[in-house]
Structure 1
């Protein structure tokens, strides 16, 4: 049953290729690294969470959000996302997500702006008590027309994920639903990014692969224990 409805708007995906063993060392029991052509990936995904609301509620809340994630296979055999951290500029939303979905959300001061030339800037500074400090500051823009990623492609591997895993007294999974992504190539100037170090990773040495999406409507259900 769908519990929440929302729109993810002005989404930037920045992904770094990493060694699978590096990721495996920082996964909970029951999860295994998912790879594409032998590579694991760490992704920073930022967007505006727009009009998030419980099912049946006519209007919701909107705020910027930012996460550090990787891709895994669970004990049920399904592939999905594992979040190392999620930062959001909404105190209530963080409290609900931490309590109801057992996700590692943190409060942050965040700002998302769009310029007349189409460039977007996302800035974030974590303010959550007793949490590792983390900052992100980047400007990104769409390059060219949008397209739908081909099944089996790297772009599909990095974006077409409909299950997430989380831990909290056990391993749990939740499902989301949305149409296939409409993506565009993108550029990003990343002035600051300490999300990796805040989660125990060294900064990836390579430049990221960057995609942009204007947005997508999403529904999310509840959690169920797996494994």
Structure 2
């Protein structure tokens, strides 16, 4: 399946806009049948060469706010780490299904959980930059599962710019997300430019989040990628299934 690295333009009004900054993408293969239960009604795992993937993506949110232009100081700037799966609906709209979105901003966590049906959690987080090194840390505060908080720690050394492979374009060029909202499955479209991607070497990885969401990986990690980020705009939800 050919995926374009640049999004088609949004139609209609903008729901929100934000900048995703200083991301690291880590991907592992998973069996589609093993993650079907995590898909909302009317959605199935998106596959390429018979395989789908799970991603761990830590980054910094910058300038998030409603509409296409308004930025909200403080509330729109925070650290985030998400665990995501890849999805497609019967209309052929590909996207992402989030299993968790760790955030260090409680107000944003509550708004996104109750307003958009997204599984945001409140966590203690940091993203520290020193030269060509990035270190991301996260420890969940709420909602807790078990006696110990789920944690994630990742340190990478950022390398030279790279050209993405067709698989890496397929994984990163996602122009929407699927979620349940008010008892319905919806697809929320987004648009942004092509990702500027760099190589990344992992210097340390200790993560509970992927396993903690119940996703069994079945193979070796793909090559890590880093991006300084993109500015993105989300459109209004489109109903997929009731």
* TM-score (structure 2 length as normaliser): 0.85
Following superposition, the deviation at residue 222 of structure 1 comes to 2.8
User: What is the aligned partner in structure 1 of residue 229 from structure 2?
Assistant: 215
Following superposition, the deviation at residue 86 of structure 1 comes to 0.6
Matching of residue 156 in structure 1 with residue 169 in structure 2: yes
Q: How well do the aligned residues superpose, as a CA RMSD in angstroms?
A: 1.9
Following superposition, the deviation at residue 96 of structure 1 comes to 1.5
The farther-off stretch of 81-90 and 57-66 is 57-66
Following superposition, the deviation at residue 205 of structure 1 comes to 5.2
SS at structure 2 position matched to 1:179: coil
Name structure 2 gaps, 5 residues minimum: 1-12
Contact 1:173 1:225 in 2 (8 A): yes
Following superposition, the deviation at residue 203 of structure 1 comes to 5.4
Summarize the Cα distance change of 1:91–1:162 in structure 2 as closer, same or farther, 3 Å threshold: same
User: What is the aligned partner in structure 1 of residue 59 from structure 2?
Assistant: 47
Matching of residue 22 in structure 1 with residue 37 in structure 2: no
SS at structure 1 position matched to 2:193: coil
Matching of residue 199 in structure 1 with residue 194 in structure 2: no
Summarize the Cα distance change of 1:26–1:99 in structure 2 as closer, same or farther, 3 Å threshold: closer
Contact 1:16 1:209 in 2 (8 A): no
Matches of 2:210 and 2:235, distance apart in 1: 28
User: What is the aligned partner in structure 1 of residue 100 from structure 2?
Assistant: 85
Following superposition, the deviation at residue 178 of structure 1 comes to 0.5
User: What is the aligned partner in structure 2 of residue 94 from structure 1?
Assistant: 109
User: What is the aligned partner in structure 2 of residue 66 from structure 1?
Assistant: 81
Query: What per-residue deviation string (whole Å, max 9, x for no partner) do you get for residues 150-203 of structure 1?
Result: 6xx001111000110012422111011111111122122343111122211235
- Which of the pair has the greater relative contact order for Cα pairs under 8 Å at 6+ separation? 2
| Superposition misfits of 4+ residues, deviation over 4 angstroms | none
Query: What per-residue deviation string (whole Å, max 9, x for no partner) do you get for residues 46-103 of structure 1?
Result: 1100111223435532111011111111132211111111111101111121122111
The farther-off stretch of 185-194 and 93-102 is 185-194
Matching of residue 142 in structure 1 with residue 155 in structure 2: no
SS at structure 2 position matched to 1:3: strand
Contact 1:44 1:66 in 2 (8 A): yes
Matching of residue 113 in structure 1 with residue 125 in structure 2: no
The farther-off stretch of 16-25 and 170-179 is 16-25
Matches of 1:167 and 1:178, distance apart in 2: 23
Name the count of aligned residue pairs: 223
Name structure 1 gaps, 5 residues minimum: none
* TM-score (structure 1 length as normaliser): 0.90
Matches of 1:58 and 1:32, distance apart in 2: 34
SS at structure 2 position matched to 1:22: helix
